[in-house]
Amino acid sequence: MKIAIVGLGYVGLPLAVAFAEAGHEVIGLDTDPRKVEGLNAGKSHIEDVPDAALAPLTERFHATTKRAELASCEAIVICVPTPLTSSREPDLTYLIDSATALSGVLTEGQLVVLESTTYPGTTRERLQPILEESGLRVGEDFHLAFSPERIDPGRTDYTVKTTPKLIGGITPSCTERARELYSLICNEVVVLSSPETAELSKLLENIFRSVNIALVNELAQLCDRLEIDVWEVIDAAATKPFGFMRFDPGPGMGGHCLPVDPFYLAFKAREHDFYPEFIELAGKVNQTQPAFCVERIERALNEREKPVKGSKILLLGLSYKAGVGDIRESPALKIAKRLIELGGDVSYHDPHVPHASELGLDSVLPSEAIEEADVVGILTAHPELDYEEVVSTARLVVDFRGVTRGIDARNLVQL
């Protein structure tokens, strides 16, 4: 098959590679010319796709900024960002722009699939009318479906191939075309009754995580007051072989999905005079966690008779999760900004984030910085660092990720 992937980011690029590795011809369309140039020169901008994975695919995969190339493809999969506006409402600009560009070149017989996470109704109410501006009719002249991406960047045990793929088409023939497409690369395709069901299933998966993370973050704040080790409590509860699923506390929730997706559902719910309080409460609790972490660092310094102002504060990890360089919505940024506002002399080390333009800082080398810092805050559990050594070299360590569990040291404070 000849397949186009629109948006070559964390979601689109691994998908493009999966189709190309399965022997299909793949065109990747992206509006960012640097990414396109890089990919065509064999350079990947996504950790999960090493350059070596692109090298054998040069015959079957190329990137482009020209939407006209979509016209010759049998299937087009849209993986563009779905962020929030500054007033925390769904920002469908990227989706609408890509759909508008596609409607100008849509041809009879094509299958279009949306993978971007969004609220129920987007595929039918927003995407379909734009594509039908082409004069073609869905279910008759072209097919349209929603299939959420479930990728977890940095994860190697579950891949595009081994993670079941949900699909929901506008018509039964749309669903059938989408099933055929994903059967090319996925071991299991799960057929749903509509795009809305598929859209909401994805939101449920992410909101489930958001709610459970909020629960353990709140518990961590309570344990701090009760002087109980939250990690020991979670380890203990996790020994139950049924009815409990482990979630770990941390400095707050980050990434492009978990902090964003609940707002997509809340937006849709409001259109129906419904206020999903439970979901919004989870978002609220998670948003308080960075402030709690700042206060914990302040308290740890205070116990050593130091104010934040003027103290050297080294933050280990800036990305929102271990092993990736994605800093979108990362709680570490909020923590760093607040400490800078309080007058802290803040630096950071992150092997995956060489520059942080939001903070005007570059990653420093850890060896000397750890020794010189008044306090070291562990914000991301990157596997590259030896945390035993960090504790043995630093004056004071505050660990928000539980990576120093098992270490008993007077200079160590744990969440």
Q: Which residues bind ligand NAD (CB under 6 A)?
A: 6-12, 29-32, 35, 79-82, 94, 97-98, 116-117, 149, 151, 153, 256-257
The residue (of 64 and 414) whose beta carbon lies closer to ligand NAD is 64
The residue (of 149 and 298) whose beta carbon lies closer to ligand NAD is 149
The residue (of 329 and 374) whose beta carbon lies closer to ligand NAD is 329
Catalytic residue status for 257: yes
How is residue 257 written in tokens? 């999905």
Least distance to ligand NAD, CB of residue 146, Å: 11
The residue (of 6 and 144) whose beta carbon lies closer to ligand NAD is 6
Least distance to ligand NAD, CB of residue 153, Å: 5
Least distance to ligand NAD, CB of residue 85, Å: 15
Give the whole-angstrom CA distance, residue 24 versus residue 73: 11
The residue (of 11 and 356) whose beta carbon lies closer to ligand NAD is 11
Which candidate in 73, 79, 223, 257 is catalytic?
Answer: 257
Query: Hunting for tokens 């937006």 — which residue is that?
Result: 267
Vertex 53 angle, CA 187 and 30, to 5°: 90
Give the whole-angstrom CA distance, residue 336 versus residue 322: 17
Residue whose CB is nearest to ligand NAD in the complex, by number: 9
* CA-wise closest residue to 415 among 394, 397, 390, 398: 398
Least distance to ligand NAD, CB of residue 98, Å: 4
Q: Which residues are identified as catalytic?
A: 257
